[in-house]
Amino acid sequence: MAAYDVKPNEQVHPGKPVIVDRYTVGARINHWITAASLILLALSGLAIFHPSLFFLSGLFGGGQFTRFIHPWIGVLLFFSFLGLFLRFWKANLWRPEDGTWLARFRDVLSNHEDNVPEVGKYNAGQKLVFWSMSILIVILISSGIVIWQQYFAAYTTVGQQRVALLVHSIAAVAIIGVWIIHFYSAIWVRGTIPAMTRGRVTGGWAWRHHRKWLRELIAGKPDGRSGSNPAE
């Protein structure tokens, strides 16, 4: 396995409990800008999606301003997520153990993670969320440009705009669903949210959920192995 699961700044700090670096300040800021952009984009998009949801436009100062700011939030989301993509795409490449992890997903839900393969920095579920977000954001920005009439109406036909609007709406619903799964999973796996707020996790958390990554950190090289629990 390549060493891209382990970053030079990630260290294990002995103590009670053991503390493990997981995300830098820059990565955390990048993540929360992306998260905030996606939430604002969803709310503003829903406001102009259906009349029954138009009341959400009040969060943005009314209908006209909502229509104006929505595509710009989309641009912010695209570039912010691009930063995350460049940081983490290698660590999210599919590995042979990921298929086995998915096949034994019931064991994960029932807190029997010793029955699933050891995984690196991200498990198969996190990787699916990452690549789903990547694909859907590209679809959203591409279709969004087609229907951004203020700047691009002269370059597209009405038929193209209608198709793009349909694609944009479907992708928007899909990405909201992916975000809900991501958010629920972060709450479900205790200790995940502190990783994105403080940038650190306990050794016990890393040993339980991302044991292969922790072994690599301890060994100082990819696929390092230790006979005992390095989280102790």
CATH for 136: 1.20.950.20
Specify if 14 maps to a domain. no
Cis (ω within 30 of 0) for the bond into 17? yes
How many domains does one find in the chain?
A: 1
Specify if 109 maps to a domain. no
Instruction: Assess contact for 131 and 123: CB atoms under 8 A.
Output: no
Specify if 16 maps to a domain. no
Confidence band of 1 (pLDDT split at 50, 70, 90): very low
Compute the mean pLDDT over every residue in the chain, rounded to the nearest whole number.
89
Mean pLDDT of 112-120: 86
**Active-site residues: which are they?**
182
Instruction: Assess contact for 126 and 92: CB atoms under 8 A.
Output: yes
- What sign does the dihedral 28-34-37-42 (CA atoms) show? negative
pLDDT in tens, 72-91: 999 999 999 999 999 999 99
222, pLDDT greater than 50: no
| Domain carrying residue 129 | 25-88+123-188
Mean pLDDT of 103-114: 83
194, pLDDT greater than 90: no
Specify if 35 maps to a domain. yes
pLDDT in tens, 47-74: 999 999 999 999 999 999 999 999 999 9
- Angstrom distance (rounded) from CA 89 to CA 93: 7
Query: Tell me, what's the pLDDT at 5?
Result: 61
156, pLDDT greater than 90: yes
Specify if 51 maps to a domain. yes
Specify if 17 maps to a domain. no
pLDDT in tens, 22-31: 999 999 999 9
Judge residue 86's burial from the number of C-beta atoms within 10 Å of its C-beta, 0-12 exposed, 13-18 middle, 19 or more buried: exposed
Instruction: Output the six-digit token pair for 45.
Output: 């998009």
